[in-house]
Amino acid sequence: MNHAETRERVNMSRQTDWCFETAADFDNALDTYADYLRDIGGRNDATIAWHILYLGRFLRHALSQRLTPQMLRPSHLIDYLREKRLSYSCANKTRIAVKAWFHYLLDLRCLRDNLFQDLPCPKGPDKCYRFYTPQEINRLLAACDTQRIIGLRDRTILEVLYDTGIRSHELCGLHLTDVDMHNATLRVRGKRHRERMLPLNQGAITWLRNYLTRRSELFGERKSATAVLFPSSLTGGMMRNTTLWKIVKKYVRAAGIDPAFTTHSLRHAFASHLMENGADLRVVQLLLGHTVAATTQLYTQLRDNHLEELHRRYHPRA
């Protein structure tokens, strides 16, 4: 659905998005809102999924208390969060989802004011990410059985993740035409549909070339014309983020690495290893697709934490 079609559908749904008389009305309203987030808000599927999940839970709770959307106030959300005793992350996502939905209703002109606009989102505990060494990453990569096509696909996935630092959903969304072997570049569609071109090193190019030579083996006797670079071996279509997460976890166990390692840890490793070797913060920001430099400064913390760890381990007076 394109931008204009979504806007027309949203405008036609003002009444049902504000007044839920049946379960079908409720589901239709969330479906329309999901289209709005995707086509007008430019959100990716993973972000839309948690917006709908946390908003839906809160609205269902409100309706069970005989509270219609028109009656909702920030105090109701605060009471809900206190009652459910959610983790900081879940509580914060609920606040964000509800504030965004009321902004959407304001856009529909169902409201004159967004009463949730100034609802504070308390700062959570500072995260301290673990530093993974190049040796650990190499063990992870070596855990793939590249004689088998699944293992070759998975090794190529891990190589691309570590070589480029792209996010899970960015990798799952890659198409064959996004790889330029001649210029050794990869076109990536990031958050809010922003595109960036990333360089590929010779190692990643070699693995991609080997994988593409055998890629058709993923489908067996099925003839698939899918344009997805790393398709699901089950469906032949786009791989889900959860499937990618399971793939990474499989090799984490095989390599004997910290069980806390996730797909995003490869992004952290990519950035922290670059900075450890002297890369400029601005360069890393561009490669990661960050629009705010403060986000990239996390990797300075990773580097500094690693230095402190080495100091404690090897200094005779530590």
The domain spans of the chain are 3-107, 134-314
Q: Which position among 191, 196, 249, 303 bears the catalytic label?
A: 191
Q: CA 254 to CA 236: how far, in whole Å? A: 26
Q: Which position among 187, 264, 303, 306 bears the catalytic label?
A: 264
Q: Judge whether 311 counts as a catalytic residue.
A: no
As a whole number, the mean pLDDT across the chain is: 80
Q: What's the angle, vertex CA 101, arms to CA 95 and CA 106, rounded to 5? A: 125
Q: Judge whether 9 counts as a catalytic residue.
A: no
Q: CA 51 to CA 192: how far, in whole Å? A: 15
Q: If you average pLDDT over residues 166-187, what whole number do you get?
A: 92
Q: Which position among 93, 155, 267, 268 bears the catalytic label?
A: 267
Q: Which position among 9, 14, 249, 290 bears the catalytic label?
A: 290
pTM score, two decimals?
Answer: 0.61
pLDDT tens track for 274-311? 877 877 777 777 778 765 555 445 555 555 555 445 43
Tell me which residue of 225, 217, 242 sits closest to 153, measured CA to CA.
217
Q: Which residues in the chain belong to E strands, given as ranges?
A: 179-180, 185-189, 195-199
Using CA atoms, how far residue 42 sits from 38, 82, 92, 158, 192, in Å, is: 5, 31, 21, 27, 4
Are 117 and 111 within 8 A, CB to CB?
no
Domain 134-314: which topology? hpI Integrase; Chain A (1.10.443)
Q: Judge whether 264 counts as a catalytic residue.
A: yes
Are 180 and 186 within 8 A, CB to CB?
yes
Q: Judge whether 299 counts as a catalytic residue.
A: yes
Query: Lowest mean pLDDT: which of 100-109, 113-122, 267-276?
Result: 113-122
Between 48 and 160, where is the model more confident? 160
Q: If you average pLDDT over residues 113-117, what whole number do you get?
A: 77
195 three-state secondary structure = strand
Using CA atoms, how far residue 193 sits from 41, 44, 45, 64, 196, in Å, is: 10, 8, 11, 37, 10
Q: Which position among 51, 93, 167, 268 bears the catalytic label?
A: 167
